Amino acid sequence: MLSDQKEPAKADRVNALIAEMSLGEKVGQMVQVSSDDGTLTDTLRDNIRGGRIGSVLNQVNPDVVAEMQRIARDESRLGIPLLIGRDVIHGFNTVLPIPLGQAASWNRELVQKGARYSAMEAASRGVNWTFAPMLDVSRDPRWGRIAESLGEDPYLASELGAAMVRGFQTDDLTQADSILSCAKHFAGYGATESGRDYNSANIPDTELHNTYFPPFQAALAAGVQSVMTSFSDVNGEPPTASVWLLRKILREKWGFPGFVVSDWGSINELVSHGVAENDCEAAQLAVNAGVNMDMVSNVYASYLQDLVEQGIIDEAWIDEMVAQILGVKFKLGLFEASLDTVDSRLPTENHLNMARQLALESVVLLKNDQDLLPLDIESSQTIAVIGPLADDGYEQMGTWVFDGDAELSQTVLDALKDSHGNSTTVRHVRALDTTRSYDAREFDHARTAARESDVVLLVLGEESILSGEAHCRSDIRLPGAQEALIEAIVECGKPIVLVIMAGRPLVLDAIVDKVDAILFAWHPGSMGGPAIVDLLFGDAVPSGKLPITFPRAVGQIPIFYSHRNTGRPPSKDTVTHVDDIEARASQTSIGNQSFHLDVDPSPQYCFGYGLSYTEFEYSELTLQPLRVKAGSQVEIDVCVTNTGSREGEEIVQLYTRDPVASLARPIRELKDFCRIKLAPGERRHIHFSLPTDILAFFDRDGRKRLEPGRFQLWVGGSSEADLIADFELVG
């Protein structure tokens, strides 16, 4: 039964309601069904009326939702309202940059505002529950769902994931335009082998605790009330059947008060995993593990009542599971909520402006030779705009946007004509039908446009369908004939700006030296076009920083900044390339290091990297005290100066390392960051307070350890910051 010391009245109401419920009605609260056809069928109507359903997925017609809620509240025996779930992953009608793009903003407040506006739009259609944020720490860009992630770093994912939770839920879940958030996928889904969806993940317990758990703990601290299990198995055990993950860690250790939902069909997939003989056994495993709600498997509806009546599952356990669901429904205020539709005049201009700002801050300037960007109006009178993504409002929205309105999208071509059509001549050539096309018949047309223009704007990348769930890639170069298109345009001898829209980091090694400037825009959402054009012409200055490492070659994956040092770390001075090895060279291990023979061991672009139209200089790093006691904090000051000629925003990043510990620790770990704006020549002192608790790590037994010793600390503009200081932690 539910025991909530903070809200005893709600707990009393939940317990009183459970006391009135039949076993069938209890099971009904644990059943979620999908309404994919968008209609209220007679079967669905009857099941709601009979108390056999607790949640409905994928219904966004506000009138139908209102009718479903009316039936649940007025015609079912106990009047228990429904949870209405929908994937509101990066926007609703107004589409924001994909979450990986939002992570490139490193902007907690703006990410929270994006979730807030998304919740308002979704709530206006009757939705009260979203399956976001996705908190899987993700280090394999082949994985399609990396687009939904917040990148490779547990601290950045924790900060931005918590911001999303606060944006969706606010501090008052009973508000009509607040919706329930869901932290997913618990746990380790981002580490699936070979970057394939639904695959196995093998993660040592130390890595689970130190890398993959922290974003979920941050979401719990932010008040998240639902958690979704992972499709994958972790160390041979699917989380949907894991007593250790769901009861020992999530409930007992972390004190999670909400409810757990399976991912789509993941309960009956326990049979495919090979841990259940049949669907009945799968239902037993999942409910015993602590999965409160079955997402569309229908195994709880089919077997749970019989399992209780046969004495295999204790009804008291069912009562506890149902109490957790009902407790969240009361927290949402569903029992008191009006059945009237919420204001549906959304999205508003404010929403579009927010989407534009988030898109702008998510774009990362990777390259800018000879300061080609921002473009000079006087020397860019004629612009060739080439590529399949230059004028495609649908594709720029990105993956998993069921409710995204492509008519709201403003493309790069649209924005360029709107803002600079009177001062520039724009020659547009699609060149390729899709990003996957190998048909080069339009290349001559593209070359002609390039030759007749002052500058070429190539807008390339991936269509939205090439990333997202079940859209994993083994080769993450630009698909189709896009590299050949770049080669063809290079022949024209004109300056080339490459804008890339994609759902993942791409391998750019083959083309990075052939273009003059690169803006990596991810899939930027509805307002991507105006944001990109603002950056192209200097109406805004790039400030995005990479939330994930870009490899030089697929063979480097996984490659991430916070790796351990190894016993033989590579150094640039001693790395041997395959082409430098003499024929019939003798085999030896002496002096060898950890690297691949056929690629530079460094990434193409490191975590935290991103250029600006100005320059920032870091100096005067000081720490106080230099010997710090456990339980206190280190006070850090650094001076940041804008040494360029333009105003710009910099993301100041703080990293630490524990160089000697009982377990080998990462070479660097992000511990804090802040965003600052500096005028040309402006110099500012930035202060961080670093609690010593943040230096602790988990050992093999899952115990948190804070070990005395020397620590290193860096502050700078990327994970390769070189301004360093030391301090000592004493007991």
- Which residues are part of the catalytic machinery? 263
CA 330-184-177 angle, 5° bins = 40
Say if residues 521 and 628 touch (Cβ distance below 8 Å): no
Query: Which pair of tokens denotes residue 292?
Result: 């409160």
Residue type, 139: R
Place of tokens 């769902």: 145
Using CB atoms within 10 A of its CB, is residue 638 exposed (0-12), middle (13-18) or buried (19+)? buried
Say if residues 173 and 123 touch (Cβ distance below 8 Å): no
Residue type, 550: F
| Contacts (Cβ under 8 Å, ≥6 apart) of 420 | 377, 426, 533, 537
- Cα dihedral sign for 673, 675, 681, 683? negative
Strand order through the sheet with 648-657: 627-629, 723-730, 709-716, 648-657, 669-678
| Contacts (Cβ under 8 Å, ≥6 apart) of 524 | 97, 101, 359, 362, 363, 396, 398, 501, 531, 532
CA 184-187-190 angle, 5° bins = 85
> What is d(CA 276, CA 85) in angstroms, rounded to the nearest whole number?
28
Residue type, 580: D
CA 225-226-227 angle, 5° bins = 135
> What is d(CA 157, CA 159) in angstroms, rounded to the nearest whole number?
6
**Does residue 620 come out as left (phi exceeding 0), alpha (psi in the -120 to 50 range) or beta?**
left
> What is d(CA 466, CA 468) in angstroms, rounded to the nearest whole number?
7
| Contacts (Cβ under 8 Å, ≥6 apart) of 668 | 561, 562, 655, 656, 657, 714, 719
